[in-house]
C-alpha cells in the first residue's frame, strides 16, 4: 500500500480509503470489523463514514473496530444530512454542526475526528457561519482537518477564499463522485483542486457496481443498481456510452489478467490528482477483489485507452481556452 499527502497538509493517507456505508446494513458487524482488520493488515489507514450511514450504526461499528488502534487510523466522517425530524436537525448551521460532531464522537468512541467533512453544500446557511464553526472545532482539538463533498467548483473556491481571507482553516480535501462512468468533475473541479492543492477522495469509483462486470445490458434483478433513485440507479448507469466504457474495461481486464473492479480502481489510482479513492464492499469477497487494485501498474497504452473512451465531450470553454495556451505550458 502506498500513501499520499492529503491536499495541502502533512497528513499521510493510504492510496485506497475503505468506505463503510454498508456497515450495519448489508454488511454484518462481524464482517465489517473483519474487513477493517484486513484493510489495516494490508497497510490501509484511511476510513470514511458519515453520521447518516445506517442511521449512525456505521459510525458505531467503526468506533468499536478501531478503539484499540485509534492513533494508527485516519478517521473521516461527515455532517450535513438530516439526523432528526427537528427543524435544526439538518444543514450546516453552527447548531447542527456542533450537535453533529458531539453525536459522532460519542458513536465513534473517540475524542477527535481526523477529517470532518461537510456532506453537501447548504444553501440556507452562509458559508461564513459554517467555516467559522469548523475552525472553532479544529481550535478545540475535536477535529484535526476539514473537508467537503458534493460541491460545485465555485462553491469550493468561495469557501477556500473565505478561509484564506479570514485566516480560518481551509478544506484540505473534497469527496466527489468520480469514476470511468462519472467524470463530470473534469470540467472545472479537477483543475481547481490541482491549482489549489485540494486532495480528491472519489466516491463510487466503481459506478455503484456498474464497473464490476456483474451487469450487462439487461436490467439487473438484484444489487444497488436496482435502486429507483440516486446516482447509481439503473436509469443513470444504463446509457449507451457507459456500456461502451464497460466493454473497454472488460477487454482491458482480460488483457491484464485482472478483474474489472481492479482495473477500474487502478485507472483512478494512476489518475493525476486522485488522493485516495473510497471503495466499499458488502462482502469479504468483494473486499479482497477491490484491494487487488494496489501493488501493480497499468501499462500506459491500456490506461490511455480507458481514459479516451470515458472522456467527456470536448466542450466549450475547454476547447476554446486550451487552444490559446502558450507553447511552454
Active site residues: 53
Q: What is the DSSP string of 8-42?
A: SSS-EEESSEEE-TTBTTTB-HHHHHHHHHHHHHT
The residue among 205, 151, 156, 196 whose CA lies nearest residue 177 is 205
User: Helix, strand or coil for residue 302?
Assistant: helix
The sign of the dihedral angle between the CA atoms of 261, 263, 266, 272 is negative
Distance CA 79, CA 210 (A): 28
Give how far the C-alpha of residue 130 lies from the chain's centroid of Cα atoms, to the nearest Å. 21
Distance CA 265, CA 46 (A): 16
Q: What is the DSSP string of 204-216?
A: -TTGGGGGGT---
Percent of residues in the chain assigned helix, strand, coil, to nearest 5 = 45, 15, 40
Amino acid at each position: 500500500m502506498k500513501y499520499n499527502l492529503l491536499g495541502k497538509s502533512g497528513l499521510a493517507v493510504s492510496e485506497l480509503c475503505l468506505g463503510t456505508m454498508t456497515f450495519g446494513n448489508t454488511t454484518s458487524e462481524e464482517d465489517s470489523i473483519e474487513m477493517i482488520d484486513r484493510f489495516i493488515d494490508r497497510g490501509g489507514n484511511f476510513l470514511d463514514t458519515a453520521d447518516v450511514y445506517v442511521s449512525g450504526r456505521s459510525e458505531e461499528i467503526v468506533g468499536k473496530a478501531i478503539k484499540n488502534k485509534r492513533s494508527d487510523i485516519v478517521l473521516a466522517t461527515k455532517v450535513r444530512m438530516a439526523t432528526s425530524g427537528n427543524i435544526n436537525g439538518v444543514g450546516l448551521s453552527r447548531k447542527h454542526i456542533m450537535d453533529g460532531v458531539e453525536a459522532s464522537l460519542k458513536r465513534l468512541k473517540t475524542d477527535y475526528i481526523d477529517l470532518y467533512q461537510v456532506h453537501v453544500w447548504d444553501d440556507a446557511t452562509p458559508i461564513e457561519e459554517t467555516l467559522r464553526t469548523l475552525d472553532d472545532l479544529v481550535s478545540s482539538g475535536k477535529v484535526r482537518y476539514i473537508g467537503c463533498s458534493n460541491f460545485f467548483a465555485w462553491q469550493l473556491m468561495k469557501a477556500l477564499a473565505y478561509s484564506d481571507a479570514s485566516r480560518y482553516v481551509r478544506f484540505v480535501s473534497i469527496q466527489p463522485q468520480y469514476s470511468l462512468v462519472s467524470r463530470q468533475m473534469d470540467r472545472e473541479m479537477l483543475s481547481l483542486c490541482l491549482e489549489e492543492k485540494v486532495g480528491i477522495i472519489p466516491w463510487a469509483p466503481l459506478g455503484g457496481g456498474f464497473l464490476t462486470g456483474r451487469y450487462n445490458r439487461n436490467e439487473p434483478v438484484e444489487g444497488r443498481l436496482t435502486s429507483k433513485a440516486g446516482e447509481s440507479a439503473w436509469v443513470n448507469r444504463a446509457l449507451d456510452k457507459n456500456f461502451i466504457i464497460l466493454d473497454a474495461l472488460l477487454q482491458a481486464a482480460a488483457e491484464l489478467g485482472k478483474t474489472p473492479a481492479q482495473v477500474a480502481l487502478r485507472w483512478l489510482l494512476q489518475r493525476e490528482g486522485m488522493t485516495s479513492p473510497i471503495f466499499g464492499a458488502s462482502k469479504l469477497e468483494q473486499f479482497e477483489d477491490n484491494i487487488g487494485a494496489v501493488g501493480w501498474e497499468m501499462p500506459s497504452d491500456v490506461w490511455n485507452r480507458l481514459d479516451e473512451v470515458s472522456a467527456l465531450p470536448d466542450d466549450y470553454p475547454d476547447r476554446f481556452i486550451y487552444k490559446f495556451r502558450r507553447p511552454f505550458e
